[in-house]
Chain A
């Protein structure tokens, strides 16, 4: 059983290294230009955003619709640290990258703090209150950023050093997804699903449902914050309009089309919808017809999303063989 466990892990690692090597080779040989590389990096960021949103909406059964707000907190915090306060640059990577990592984690922590402020009071309530509160929080963060001159106000924050490379996003996306996957396949992850299936039954089996919900919400906001930081150091320019409610809605669409109750589904949804606008580029304005059409058709024919409850085998934890059933 130990053999199988390590075996599959090795296979998965090899697969990801191959994907990286192939992408990098295509870039170096000029087949993929910088624009496509940027697109692939965005896929990585969007995967982490969507998977973290799925932790709250898909697996814990709460309805958060302000995920971009936490992304904004992380993006602005990390950008302020690297750009305005510490003037980090990519010139000396031995100084630059540690600062970048600290800045991005600080952004995640601040987003987690914001998540706690939003989640702690509203997750005590049952029902749809969280949706209203998260929506308002998203708009509040947007409005505060717009009004704060120190972070550029509506003009935005530019001149951010470009730390986010293909390598950075590979490591970031894999580590984030593995951490969330691990949590989901644990006793704590099972109680998340219990809260989703029946909150009253979860309480009566001894689970502190409020604590569980708040914790998931906080770490989901953390990953959104870190994603925001990685995002800011990719585009090198951020402004409040990148983090509006519309952005949150996009992540909801990625999640529900891919499959909210599946990590693989969240990944597939994020990848499809990040790449789709490019694949449909030749259709020009007609792509805006295709896009909602895909949504409608998925919701009619696969209500539970593309993946449903299924996971790719590399997401699953290999199960040990149980002792034989004695008659």
Chain B
């Protein structure tokens, strides 16, 4: 059974149809790319899946549950984590606190334990500290654990954002332009990281990306959107040679 099954998704903003009749089925462990020119509706698809918007029409079934109408935090708790096109870290909090925050909904102590610093609090804090440092280590960020996250270099902030998403223990990871602002060497490393993430954390990954080298190198399947419509779908080799894709990106006659 598909882990994510989106059917006939349509999103209007007033009179503007941002996404129309979008369908996607993702199997467990797949890496799927979503590409298209600016304004094609890719990020809107992400925002609808993660509950930022409620879709005008359509169904989204994740892991056997219909998640349409659920709030963003509920969808995250159900197992979908995401990163953002522009980095949105908790910039005044420390690097390790960014990770701990993402584990908050799994913490077992309550408000009373928080006010009184009971034994349960100390146990919980010790556990989450170990959990966070282990995760940071995987992303080579453990040396920065107590630095303010907003002070990290750009590449490290990108890594931290992915680490933070993983701290929620998702089944499906959604990456919105993970290679944005990266040079070719960093992008190469990112491609390795994405494959490694999938295997290490047993993930299914959906990503938006503009750098074609990254998309073609990392995705097993690609969907192309333009003006809210899905215009083409298939394996990277097929997409690369499809005239409709060239037309969407470069215009007619290119």
Contacts and interface: CB of A to CB of B under 8 A. Distances in A.
A200 B46 CA distance: 13
Contacts of B145: 322
B63 interface: no
A206 B129 contact: no
Nearest to B161: A201
B104 interface: yes
Nearest to A5: B122
A200 B128 CA distance: 23
Given A198-B88, A207-B104, 20 more contacts: A183-B115, A186-B113, A186-B121, A186-B125, A187-B103, A187-B124, A190-B100, A190-B104, A193-B90, A193-B93, A194-B93, A194-B101, A200-B84, A201-B90, A202-B90, A205-B101, A205-B104, A205-B164, A205-B167, A322-B145
Nearest first, the 7 A-B pairs at minimum CB distance are A186-B114, A206-B105, A206-B76, A197-B90, A203-B72, A205-B102, A201-B88
A204 B81 CA distance: 7
Interface size band for B? 35 or more
Contacts of B167: 205
Contacts of B84: 200-201
Contacts, number: 113
A18 B203 CA distance: 58
Interface in B182-224: none
B227 interface: no
B92 interface: yes
B202 to A, nearest CB: 19
B92 A182 contact: no
Interface string B119-131: 0010011101110
Given A187-B114, A190-B93, A322-B129, A209 B73 contact: yes
A320 interface: yes
Given A198-B88, A320-B126, A193 B73 contact: no
A196 interface: yes
A200 B77 CA distance: 15
B237 to A, nearest CB: 34
**Which one of B92, B105, B145 has the greatest number of beta carbons of chain A within 10 Å?**
B92
Contacts of B111: 183, 188, 215
A261 B91 CA distance: 13
A8 to B, nearest CB: 14
B8 interface: no
Interface string B151-168: 000000000000011011
**Which one of A190, A202, A322, A325 has the greatest number of beta carbons of chain B within 10 Å?**
A190
Contacts of A325: 137, 142-143
B169 to A, nearest CB: 10
A4 to B, nearest CB: 14
B116 A197 contact: no
B97 A190 contact: yes
A60 interface: no
20 contacts: A179-B116, A186-B125, A187-B101, A187-B103, A187-B107, A187-B109, A187-B128, A188-B104, A190-B100, A193-B97, A200-B84, A201-B90, A204-B82, A205-B164, A208-B73, A209-B73, A322-B133, A323-B133, A325-B137, A325-B142
A223 B97 CA distance: 27
A202 B104 CA distance: 10
Contacts of B168: 205-206
Contacts of A309: 92
A197 B92 CA distance: 7
B17 interface: no
Contacts of A191: 101, 104
A156 interface: no
Nearest to B96: A322
Interface string A287-327: 00000000000000000000001000000000010110100
A48 to B, nearest CB: 15
B93 A182 contact: no
Nearest to B145: A322
Contacts of A189: 114
A200 B168 CA distance: 15
B52 interface: yes
A263 to B, nearest CB: 14
Given A197-B93, A204-B82, A206-B77, A182 B100 contact: no
A325 B140 CA distance: 11
A186 B73 CA distance: 20
B71 interface: yes
Contacts of B130: 323
Contacts of A215: 111
Interface in A142-180: 179
B101 A182 contact: no
A198 B116 contact: no
